[in-house]
Structure 1
C-alpha cells in the first residue's frame, strides 16, 4: 500500500510541476538590461554581425558574448549604433534615447510582413563606460520565439 501512495504522490507532483513550468517555446522579451557595454565580448561585435546570448565562460570567469556567423544562425544581430549626447550619465534618459533611436531604425529596416516575429533592444553604456567617454548604443534585432536562421537585415535594393 505505501508504494501505491508514493507513486500517486509522485504523479501528482509531476502534474503540478508541469502546470507551473514555462513552456520551452515561450517568447522571450529582451530589455535594455539584457546586455550592457561591459558584457565581455560585446565590444567585438560590429554592425550587421550576429552573436549568441551570453553564456558563462569558465576561462573568463564571466558571462561572455560570442560572435557567430549569421549563416550559422544566432540569437541576435546588431543592426546599427546610435550616439548619445554628452552630459551626465542618467540611465533612464539614455535608455529612453536608445529605445527611441533604435526603434526608428528598426521601423525603417523592417516594415510590414518583414517585421513579423522580430523585435529589438538597445545595448546601453554603463555609468563606468560613460565615465570613460562611451556614448555608443548598439541596436540589436532578435526573434522572441527562437534563433535567427540567418541574417535578417533586408537586402539593399529590395
Structure 2
C-alpha cells in the first residue's frame, strides 16, 4: 500500500436518534363586496356572514421522486460482502463507526469485495500487525475478484479492520473495499479487469 493511501481504521457502535415534527394548516376566505350602485345608491358596509363550513383543502397527492434514495448510514458491523458505500467519515479517534451504504446501481465510492477474519488469536498484536494482516487478506483476494493483477489495475483497495478495543471483544473481521482511482462508479467492479 503506497504512502498516499491511508487505511480506514477501526469500528465502534454509535446509536442514531430520530426526531419527528408535525405541521398543521388552516384556510380562510374573503367575502366579496358589492359596489354602491347595486345597494340602492347608498354606501352600506356589508355585514359579516358566518358560515359553519370551512372550505376543504384537497390533500396533496404523493409525488414519486425520480432521484436516487441516496446513502443511508449503517452500523459498520452490519456491512457485508457486495455492499457499496460512499466516502466514510472518521471520528476523532480515527475510527469508523457508521458507513453510508448505497445501492450499487447508484454512483458510489467503494464496494466490499471480500470479507475475512484475521486468523490470529490472543492479545492484540498492535496496529502495524493488524494493518499488515488486513492488507495481505485484501491483496490475496484482489486479482481473482477484479480479473487482473493489482499492480496493473486502475482499481485500488483499502481495508477496514478492527482496532484494539474491538479486538479485545473478539472482532477479527476485515472488510476489503475496492474503489476506482478515477472516481465514483455505478454498478459492480467485480470482473472489471482494468
TM range (shorter): 0.5 to 0.7
- What displacement does 1:148 show? 2.0
Larger deviation, residues 115-124 vs 132-141: 115-124
CA contact (8 A) 1:48 1:153 kept: no
Structure with greater helix percent = 1
Tell me which structure has the larger Cα radius of gyration.
2
Q: Which residue of 2 aligns with 1:87?
A: 122
Q: Secondary structure at the match of 1:112?
A: coil
CA contact (8 A) 1:39 1:65 kept: no
Q: Do residues 72 (structure 1) and 106 (structure 2) align?
A: yes
The TM-score, its normalising length taken from structure 2, stands at 0.55
Taking the aligned partners of 2:102 and 2:82, their CA distance within structure 1 comes to 11
Q: Which residue of 2 aligns with 1:98?
A: 134
Count of aligned residue pairs for this structure pair: 121
- What displacement does 1:94 show? 1.2
Q: Which residue of 1 aligns with 2:6?
A: 31
CA root-mean-square deviation: 2.6
Taking the aligned partners of 1:148 and 1:39, their CA distance within structure 2 comes to 28
Taking the aligned partners of 1:44 and 1:127, their CA distance within structure 2 comes to 19
- What displacement does 1:37 show? 2.0
Taking the aligned partners of 1:63 and 1:102, their CA distance within structure 2 comes to 20
Contiguous gaps of at least 5 residues in structure 2: 15-74, 91-95
- What displacement does 1:35 show? 3.9
- What displacement does 1:107 show? 1.6
Q: Secondary structure at the match of 2:129?
A: helix
Contiguous gaps of at least 5 residues in structure 1: 1-28, 57-61
The equivalences for 1:111-126 within 5 A come to 111-112=147-148, 116-126=153-163
Taking the aligned partners of 1:53 and 1:43, their CA distance within structure 2 comes to 17
Distance 1:63 1:126, change over 3 A: closer
- What displacement does 1:39 show? 7.3
- Which runs of structure 1 show a deviation greater than 6 angstroms over 4 or more consecutive aligned residues? none
Taking the aligned partners of 1:70 and 1:42, their CA distance within structure 2 comes to 17
Taking the aligned partners of 1:121 and 1:150, their CA distance within structure 2 comes to 19
